[in-house]
Structure 1
């Protein structure tokens, strides 16, 4: 990877972290409010992210946008099935509710000095490793 591309990715990652921090998306209290249905704040953030994603995907598809290296962006169709998304979403949501954060906030909170999140990050990476190791044995 060229240095210029790495700097672009680094800048975008820092910008994303600042946006999540300033919008309070990394706040354990905001996440708990969401899961207790006490506040619309996180639902509004998630809804705006979904709307932005839908808009961006439509732009990519309609205008045949290319990636940073000039290759066409190919978006594969999603596999159909209720159970895979129901079980995956439920397990993700339970972990999110218990921990008070998902992937990006883990890194941001470690940067803020919440070093206990490093334990959670370790087990998230460990779980990803185990899934990759045994993926071929699981129904897909």
Structure 2
């Protein structure tokens, strides 16, 4: 096992270390928030924004077409993403790939919850997400790409998305999961 990185005093909200084993948390916090790692994340985000822009995923008109069932464009992109994710999960499981720290990548099955309606959290979350997407004309992924493309009104949407995320983090322990 590799020696652990020195202890770094960072707020816990800087990186999600909930699922990281206790003996690797300090290292994950240090490496995940290192300037080089943040620069890589920024470049990957810029690349994703470019792909979103060129493929018209951030186009309000394309999203409008999708929700009116007038075009296959967005369904094709979403279907390609689902197929790529399924293939990636299959490869991860088949080859027993590990994280950069050597831990096995384990994908837990979805928990349907214990509500009276099985899977209620998934369909309620999906409906909420879909309504927000339809009303705004953008899902959270391309908000920054839209801002970068000059759609300044998306600043309000980005602030609202960040506010919702912060509120969830604040209330998470008090919410049913």
Q: Same fold (TM over 0.5)?
A: yes
Q: Which range moved further: 127-136 or 62-71?
A: 62-71
Q: 1:69 to 1:9 in 2, by over 3 A?
A: farther
Largest Rg, 1 or 2: 2
1:76-129 per-position Cα deviation (integer Å, ceiling 9, x unaligned): 221113211110000000000010111121010111121211111111111111
* Paired residues for 1:45-64 under 5 Å: 45-64=77-96
Relative contact order, higher structure (CA 8 A, sep 6+): 1
Pick the structure with more helix per residue.
Answer: 1
Name the counterpart of 1:110: 147
Structure 1 stretches of at least 4 aligned residues deviating more than 4 Å after TM superposition:
none
Computed over aligned residues only, the root mean square deviation of the Cα atoms, in angstroms, reads 1.7
Which residues of structure 1 form unaligned runs of 5+? none
TM-score by length of 2: 0.72
- How many pairs align? 140
- TM-score scaled to structure 1, two decimals? 0.90
Q: Is 1:122 aligned to 2:159, yes or no? A: yes
Which residue of structure 2 lines up, in the alignment, with residue 135 of structure 1? 172
